[in-house]
A and B are shown apart, each in its own frame.
Chain A
Amino acid sequence: MNVELKNIHKHFGKTYANKGINLSIPSGTIQGILGENGAGKSTLMKILSGFIQADPGGEIILNGKPVVIHSPADAIHVGVGMLHQDPLDFPPMRVLDNFLLGRSGGLFPNRGAVAQDFKRLAEQFDFSLDPDNYVDALTVGERQQLEIIRLLWLGARVLILDEPTTGISASQKTKLFATLKKLADQGMTIIFVSHKLEDVESLCHQVAVLRAGELVGTTKPPYNTSRLVEMMFGKIVTLGERQPAKSGEPVLSLRDISLEDVRLKIRNVNLDLRAGEVIGLAGLEGSGQGMFIRACAGLVRPVGGRILLKGRDLTGRSYHTFKREGVNFLPASRLEEGLVPGLSLTDHFVLAEEPNGVFIDRAAGQRLAEERIKAFNIRGTPFSTVESLSGGNQQRAELALLQSPLSLILLEHPTRGLDIESVIYIWSKLKDRCHQDSAAILFISSDLEEILQYSDRVLVFFSGKVSAPIDAATTSVDQLGQLIGGKGWQEKGGSHA
């Protein structure tokens, strides 16, 4: 199906998410849509798939005919289906029931016939999905497969995929790409939204790049990576050089620390974290690293052992004592734990400063906010409420709230969901703080490349077991992956970090 977008505008308040976008995608094409977070990719796709409506004046033309799409149901009716980043399915239900949902008509669906269709489609793409299995037992990749055949079965001729390669395994990715190529050969139009350059380069027939709501250009293979990056960010960005490990004074010392919650027990961990050093905590979600980092912040009390900060024993003291001693903790859930929705950036900066008298000096607060907004490159005004900021800007705001001076920064998933430019920016700021205050950093990440790139040493967590510190310079993603999965623990030797 030929897809044409003409003059699509969309504004939210004063900011334009899409600005005069014109894009034409011929039938049988895999179209890549590239752009950093907040570039307007998702908005454009939501407009095409009916989740939101464009401002008046634009047109969506399918096979030469202008169409009006007011809802996702309208979209699938004209043949447009969207696969969301988080699959929109119903986990406690069976695969086949999920497949049936969204189908109109009929009080009593003909399950037999539907099961046949399901089997036929699954076989066609070599998907091994059991129709009687429950959806919560499936992996993200399998849920994607289910969603793809469901949309095809509903009659989709245009398939939109939003960041489909996040959270799936390498083999699932290979299978997904093969499926998409097969579909394109059958005349389907595939729109592939991503900020991962290698995925886009290896799959797409043509690529459109969005920046700040505008279409900055389209290219065809062979792709020039640095040219694409430049289009995405408007400038050239490179990852920083890895820096060698420091050996300053110990900042945080753990002596035989034991931790417990209802599920996990961590026993006798010893660690010395030195000034200027960065330690990454790797492990599957819920392997004990969350409890560990919170114990280092004073939020979880150890059941045994001692925690020393610059030689001072802080065992059993409250988080606020830790904070006064220069420990800052940035939680993963920014709007739930890190920031206060409803309060402005100025309010946050004022709150984080030491009070100066009883009354707030509004003008000074605003000046401070303007300074920090500039220094941390936050897209927002002093009066913006934090929930109106994008994820990357919320993260920058959290960094801007770090106190000074600092001795230890604890971070949970500091760059989750952020584009590469924000990641580089945030780490450069963190490293700056490390040098300035001779602080140390302890961070959790599920991105192993991030861990290897930015840490000096790595601790791996596996169901409460903690590895000895591993030198990041001499290990690989593959080795870490094995340990995270519970393999090779004998050699790495238990919990004497």
Chain B
Amino acid sequence: MLRGRLGSFLFQSIAFVLALGFVSLILLAVGASPLEAYKNILTGSVGSMRKFAEVLVSFVPLLLVTAGLLITFSAGLWNIGVEGQIVLGAIATTWALRQFVDSTMPPALAIFLSILAGMAGGAVWASFAGMLKTFGGVNEIFGGLGLNFVSTALTLYLIFGPWKREGVASMSGTEPFPDVFSLPQLPDLRISPWALGIALAAVLVVYLILQGTYFGLRLKAVGRNFRAAYLLGIPTWQYSLYSFLICGALAGLAGAMQVTAVYHRLIPSISSGYGYLGLMVAMLINYQAIWAVPLTLFFAALNIGSIQLPIVMKLDSSLSGVLQGVLVLFVLLVEGARQKFLKKA
């Protein structure tokens, strides 16, 4: 029983309980009531339609990034640079929109082209990490990390330099675009059904690529045994690069959504750490696309729900990050224990 899906679920539940227990201990140590904190997170995320819409706003970029990372993880690559790829997607989208603002182009077409520009921006940024890896022998973790810092610096330079607001440059970002250049939103809610649809479509495409295509199978072969894949006739380094390009395009799409559906401008922390969070989700679901949607939704809910904590309980909202991190650690730990247990049994 412990071998099958049910056993796996049982162990994951144990990990979840352990993570909750651990965070509760932290809360008790600072003199707060864990139950009250969890209640606040719950009501803060799904307590009202408006709040749930906020969860979905956070869900969209996280899902896009996670979907992209499933591709690079399948190819055996740790695309830490995904954070910077989101940023470059946002920058490229902003750049494109700035070209179209004063033109006579229909806004819908302008938005569409800007989103494509965002995807291209993310893909180009990812290709840097990919080329450093394949041609320069630089590990993608180091290359990606370096490029992340460059992307942050580039954002700040643009906001305070060439793209600064009329008269005053500030941390609040560039001049917001006119409303016609935003993806349409639901009445009274901040969520755009277009953004949601795009994110769900993206994860579906990734699922299909990994489950049913020659491309996906070859990618997995490259990820699991680079040498054998090469001997089997797969063009290995090309596939590594393709995976970077796809992940970069999806991260760039996430950045484009942040600009066209959420902030309507470029802001300094446009990626909001979704890249790193996506890495955690991908690890948590053990790189299986089918779990991406529920887990991403859960993480997004934690993010939004914990905003209540400083308001109601004077706790820091970073508690959600602690819970997410601890959860990943416990799931990995319990999975390790399960493997060991199975070997003995």
Contacts and interface: CB of A to CB of B under 8 A. Distances in A.
Interface of A: 319-320, 323, 329, 331, 336-343, 347-348, 350-352, 355, 357-360, 362, 401
Nearest to A339: B228
B233 A340 contact: no
Contact of A360 (B214, B227, B230, B232): B214
A118 B229 CA distance: 50
B231 A336 contact: no
B265 interface: no
Contacts of A336: 225, 227-228
B217 interface: yes
Contacts of A350: 214, 217
A342 B224 contact: yes
Interface string B205-217: 0000000111101
Given A340-B221, A343-B224, A350-B217, A359 B229 contact: no
8 contacts: A320-B235, A331-B231, A340-B221, A340-B229, A341-B225, A343-B221, A352-B233, A359-B214
A351 B213 contact: no
Interface in B222-252: 224-225, 227-235
Contacts of A359: 212-214
Nearest to A347: B217
A318 to B, nearest CB: 10
Nearest to B227: A337
Interface string B266-297: 00000000000000000000000000000000
Nearest to B211: A360
Contacts of A319: 230-231
A340 B228 CA distance: 6
Contacts of B212: 359-360, 362
B227 A358 contact: no
Contacts of A340: 220-221, 224-225, 228-229, 232
Given A319-B230, A323-B233, A355 B214 contact: yes
Given A355-B214, A359-B213, A341 B224 contact: yes
B213 A338 contact: no
Contacts of B221: 340, 343, 347, 351
A352 B232 contact: yes
A351 B234 contact: yes
Contacts of B230: 319
B217 A339 contact: no
B218 interface: yes
Which bucket holds chain B's interface residue count?
10 to 19
Contact of A358 (B214, B229, B232, B235): B214
A350 B221 CA distance: 11
Nearest to A357: B214
Q: Which 7 A-B pairs have the closest CB atoms?
A: A355-B214, A340-B225, A342-B224, A340-B221, A337-B227, A340-B224, A340-B228
A245 B11 CA distance: 62
B3 to A, nearest CB: 9
Contact of B217 (A329, A338, A351, A357): A351
A341 B226 CA distance: 11
B225 A339 contact: yes
A323 B231 CA distance: 9
A355 B235 CA distance: 14
A406 B231 CA distance: 15
A360 B213 contact: yes
Given A340-B229, A351-B218, 16 more contacts: A320-B233, A323-B233, A336-B227, A337-B225, A338-B231, A339-B228, A340-B220, A342-B224, A343-B217, A343-B221, A347-B221, A350-B214, A350-B217, A351-B217, A351-B221, A358-B213
A359 B211 CA distance: 9
A337 B214 CA distance: 21
A351 to B, nearest CB: 6
B174 to A, nearest CB: 40
Contact of A337 (B217, B224, B228, B233): B228
Contacts of B217: 343, 347, 350-351, 360
Contacts of A342: 220, 224
B214 to A, nearest CB: 4
A404 to B, nearest CB: 13
A401 B215 CA distance: 19
B215 A351 contact: no
B45 to A, nearest CB: 36
Contacts of A358: 213-215
Contacts of A351: 217-218, 221, 232, 234
A401 B221 CA distance: 15
A388 B232 CA distance: 20
Nearest to B222: A340
A347 B217 CA distance: 7
A320 B221 CA distance: 16
A360 B234 CA distance: 16
A350 B214 CA distance: 8
A343 B233 contact: no
A338 B228 contact: yes
B231 A329 contact: yes
A357 B224 CA distance: 24
A343 B217 CA distance: 9
A347 B213 CA distance: 11
A411 to B, nearest CB: 13
Which of the listed residues A323, A351, A352, A401 has the most CB atoms from chain B within 10 Å of its own CB?
A351
Nearest to B220: A343
Contacts of B228: 336-340
B226 to A, nearest CB: 9
A343 B216 CA distance: 12
A309 B299 CA distance: 58
Contacts of A329: 231
Which of the listed residues B220, B227, B233 has the most CB atoms from chain A within 10 Å of its own CB?
B233
Contacts of B218: 351
Contacts of A343: 217, 220-221, 224
A343 B229 CA distance: 11
Contacts of A347: 217, 220-221
B189 to A, nearest CB: 37
Which of the listed residues A320, A331, A341, A362 has the most CB atoms from chain B within 10 Å of its own CB?
A320
A340 B224 CA distance: 6
Nearest to A337: B227
Contacts of B232: 340, 348, 351-352, 401
Nearest to A297: B231
A167 B329 CA distance: 46
A358 B228 CA distance: 22
Which of the listed residues B218, B225, B230, B234 has the most CB atoms from chain A within 10 Å of its own CB?
B225
Contacts of A320: 233, 235
Contacts of B229: 340
Contacts of B224: 340-343
Interface string B183-213: 0000000000000000000000000000011
Nearest to A358: B213
A343 B232 CA distance: 13
Which of the listed residues B217, B231, B234 has the most CB atoms from chain A within 10 Å of its own CB?
B231
A360 B217 CA distance: 9
A347 B224 CA distance: 13
A134 to B, nearest CB: 33
Contacts of B214: 350, 355, 357-360
Contacts of B231: 319, 329, 331, 337-338
A342 B214 CA distance: 16
A427 B324 CA distance: 56
B339 to A, nearest CB: 14
A447 B172 CA distance: 75
